[in-house]
Amino acid sequence: MQIRSSDTLATHVERLLVAAFEAAGLEGRGVRAVPAQRPDLADLQCNAAMALAGAAKRPPREIAEAVATLLREHAEFTSVDIAGPGFINMRLSPALLTAQATRQLADPQAGIAGETPETIVIDFGGPNVAKPLHVGHLRSLVLGESLRRILLAQGHRVIGDVHLGDWGLQMGMLISELSRLWPELTSDGEWTANPPFSMNDLQAIYPRVAAECKADEGRMTEARAATARLQAGNADDMRLWETIRRVSLDAQTTDFHTLDAHFDELNGESLVQPLIPGMVEDLATRGVAKRSEGALIVEVAEESDDSPMPPLLLEKSDGAALYATTDLATILERRDRLHPQRIVYVVDQRQALHFQQVFRGARQAGYADGIELVHVGFGTVNGKDGKPYKTREGGVAKLHELLDEAIERAAGRLDERVDRAELAHAVGVAAVKFADLSTYRTSGYVFDAERMVATEGRTGPYMQYACVRVTSILARADAESAAMGTMDIAEAAERTLVLLCSRFPEAVQSAARRYAPNDLADYAYDLAQAFSRFYAECPVLAASSAEVRASRLSLVALTRHVLGKALDLLGIRVPERM
Ligand code: ARG
């Protein structure tokens, strides 16, 4: 039976299994083929006989025997054996493995299954204007970018949006302070193209004015007035706001580039402010929102809640909108403009309650009909003390400081070479990213740059080395004019490699379903290790014959294809040489 193009190796075998179980008079639906626990005895195994025995009132071994007899008729298997209480152990034919490996190598997607395409918004990054990116943005950017790539590879239409914190009192504070420092800024003029302040100035000014406003009521009144003027669309304030936003975003974009984080849209909280009055009114008239002690709230508690969920706060008693109000309006805006089937928020797990409230509020309001809302939460990046990472001085570490530390340590491990700086950069960044991606997202992890840049173990540099090595074998083959050829899967290490490559689509699917790039990171690591074993056991360029060499070169190319794709989906760049 030919493998259908939409099938993986496992699902192809599952079709045969389902048919065999049904022919044996059993419920075949959902029967799975999983990697064999004893690779020395089998490639895949099926455990369904045990699960079905009870309902069928038949001994599991008898079921397994009946199924095995039917399976043995297929050319796909060289052997089908029963073990223990009724495990069905299947050894796949070399022809099937060759067919699988050949089509995977030829497929630009390396077998990734296309899903029914959805329009998916990924909301990630989320920095606030005038503040540098810091340790708290690392995971959102790294996880968000990988998820963006994974969902794209599955055939979805994906829209990455950075959702800047670019509105509110913070902006009024900055505007009032900047126009004190540079009075010319409040007039129309040449300055917008060449503002007198830089991101460094903004970073220094913002905490100072925030503190001053807190301490001095008069200063706060001034900031509030600026905020109100901005909200009313005053041209001078708008111009200044736009410039602050641009200066700030330009600086932040440098960090996005370093991390290879790509955004299709650079929207922010400001975009939806005009929608808020109408939305609030709509919610109030329909009775979704109600007044409580002067504030406007939406009750979002549900009976099944373990602990009572506080109401969503739409408007404070002074009429000011809140974080949740903006997120609710953003759902509306995205719904009407982008028509998404899914909105995914890659945001710190500590905001879980906020998103639960917003999602419930959106559903109650009927704003999210046909839209799946997902909060992909993540744990903190910690210091060696296990607490959220701080600088030596006890402050919040800037993102580029963390990356610089890894880059410096990576440089320390490289020998003197011309391209050392560039290479150290690539290795350091990959080290940080892979460490992040290889931890399940809800667990926190310790930022340990020295461990991250190690070339052994589950690290970014190890993965890069592995990939570079595979590529260099192909380059040497090219130089020696050694060609690839028909694969002939004879050795155990070759078989393991092909089987593992065949599981790439499953790893991608699992990473997508669980929003867990670590499934893919783990997979990539296993593949790199399997390749190491193969390379140690099976000479490639020095193979015993031209046919074996050609076959093994094809296997090397397959590994390169799958490993390269996996690292690309993780957002890990591989240098040309190391
Ligand atoms: N700017 C927010 C913060 O600093 C994160 C934004 C996350 N995205 C969202 N749609 N709420 O906490």
Q: Ligand 1 pocket test: pick from 128, 138, 312 the residue with the most ligand atoms within 8 Å of its Cβ.
A: 128
CB 146 within 8 A of CB 260: no
Query: End of a domain among 227, 259, 291?
Result: 259
In a domain, 392, yes or no: no
- Residue 32 confidence (pLDDT) above 70: yes
- Residue 418 confidence (pLDDT) above 80: no
Cα–Cα distance measured from residue 214 to residue 181, given in angstroms and rounded to the nearest whole number: 19
Residue in 96, 67, 68 with CA at minimum distance from that of residue 81: 68
Question: In the structure, what pLDDT confidence band is assigned to residue 190 with cuts at 50, 70 and 90?
Answer: confident
**Bridge partner list, 445:** 381
Range 410-438 average pLDDT? 90
CB 316 within 8 A of CB 295: yes
- Does residue 165 line the site of ligand 1, with CB under 6 A? yes
- Residue 570 confidence (pLDDT) above 80: yes
CB 70 within 8 A of CB 23: yes
- Does residue 126 line the site of ligand 1, with CB under 6 A? yes
Q: What is the pLDDT of residues 541-551, one digit of tens each?
A: 999 999 999 99
Residue in 355, 533, 507, 530 with CA at minimum distance from that of residue 437: 507
CB 497 within 8 A of CB 530: yes
Instruction: Say how many Å lie between the CA of residue 346 and the centre of ligand 1.
Output: 9
159-173, 308-322, 431-445: range with lowest mean pLDDT: 308-322
- Does residue 123 line the site of ligand 1, with CB under 6 A? yes
In a domain, 200, yes or no: yes
Output the residue whose Cα is nearest ligand 1's atom 8.
Answer: 126
Instruction: Say how many Å lie between the CA of residue 162 and the centre of ligand 1.
Output: 9
- Residue 160 confidence (pLDDT) above 80: yes
ipTM above 0.95, yes or no: yes
Q: What is the pLDDT of residue 487?
A: 95
Count Cα neighbours of 455 within 13 Å in the Cβ-side half-sphere: 13
Instruction: Say how many Å lie between the CA of residue 559 and the centre of ligand 1.
Output: 39
Output the residue whose Cα is nearest ligand 1's atom 6.
Answer: 126
DSSP 91-141: EE-HHHHHHHHHHHHH-TTTTPPPPPP-EEEEE---PBTTS--BHHHHHHH
- Does residue 345 line the site of ligand 1, with CB under 6 A? yes
Q: What is the pLDDT of residues 435-487, one digit of tens each?
A: 999 999 999 999 999 999 999 999 999 999 999 999 999 999 999 999 999 99
User: What number of other Cβ atoms are within 10 A of residue 11's Cβ?
Assistant: 17
Cα–Cα distance measured from residue 137 to residue 131, given in angstroms and rounded to the nearest whole number: 11
> What per-residue string of b and e applies to 308-335 under the rule 16 or more CB within 10 Å gives b?
eeebbbbbeeeeebbebbbbbbbbbbbb
Q: What is the pLDDT of residue 365?
A: 97
Question: In the structure, what pLDDT confidence band is assigned to residue 6 with cuts at 50, 70 and 90?
Answer: confident
Range 258-283 average pLDDT? 96
Output the residue whose Cα is nearest ligand 1's atom 5.
Answer: 126
- Does residue 128 line the site of ligand 1, with CB under 6 A? yes
For residue 49, what is the domain's CATH number? 3.30.1360.70
**Domain range for 226:** 169-259
Question: In the structure, what pLDDT confidence band is assigned to residue 191 with cuts at 50, 70 and 90?
Answer: confident
In a domain, 323, yes or no: no
Query: End of a domain among 241, 259, 277?
Result: 259
**Bridge partner list, 77:** 92
In a domain, 545, yes or no: no
- Residue 318 confidence (pLDDT) above 90: no
Q: For the chain, what is the domain count?
A: 2
- Does residue 327 line the site of ligand 1, with CB under 6 A? yes
Instruction: Say how many Å lie between the CA of residue 330 and the centre of ligand 1.
Output: 12
Cα–Cα distance measured from residue 493 to residue 187, given in angstroms and rounded to the nearest whole number: 72
Q: What is the pLDDT of residue 472?
A: 96
Both structure tokens of 363 = 């559903």
In a domain, 522, yes or no: no
In a domain, 560, yes or no: no
Question: In the structure, what pLDDT confidence band is assigned to residue 212 with cuts at 50, 70 and 90?
Answer: very high
pTM of the predicted protein model? 0.95
- Residue 213 confidence (pLDDT) above 70: yes
Instruction: Say how many Å lie between the CA of residue 347 and the centre of ligand 1.
Output: 7
Cα–Cα distance measured from residue 152 to residue 347, given in angstroms and rounded to the nearest whole number: 20
User: Mean pLDDT over all residues of the chain?
Assistant: 94
- Residue 225 confidence (pLDDT) above 80: yes
Query: End of a domain among 230, 259, 288?
Result: 259
Question: In the structure, what pLDDT confidence band is assigned to residue 1 with cuts at 50, 70 and 90?
Answer: confident
Instruction: Say how many Å lie between the CA of residue 352 and the centre of ligand 1.
Output: 12
Q: Ligand 1 pocket test: pick from 121, 122, 123 the residue with the most ligand atoms within 8 Å of its Cβ.
A: 123
- Residue 163 confidence (pLDDT) above 70: yes
Question: In the structure, what pLDDT confidence band is assigned to residue 394 with cuts at 50, 70 and 90?
Answer: confident
Q: What is the pLDDT of residue 528?
A: 98
Q: What is the pLDDT of residue 417?
A: 65
Instruction: Say how many Å lie between the CA of residue 278 and the centre of ligand 1.
Output: 23
CB 265 within 8 A of CB 157: no
- Residue 167 confidence (pLDDT) above 90: yes
Looking from the CA of residue 165, the nearest atom of ligand 1 is 1
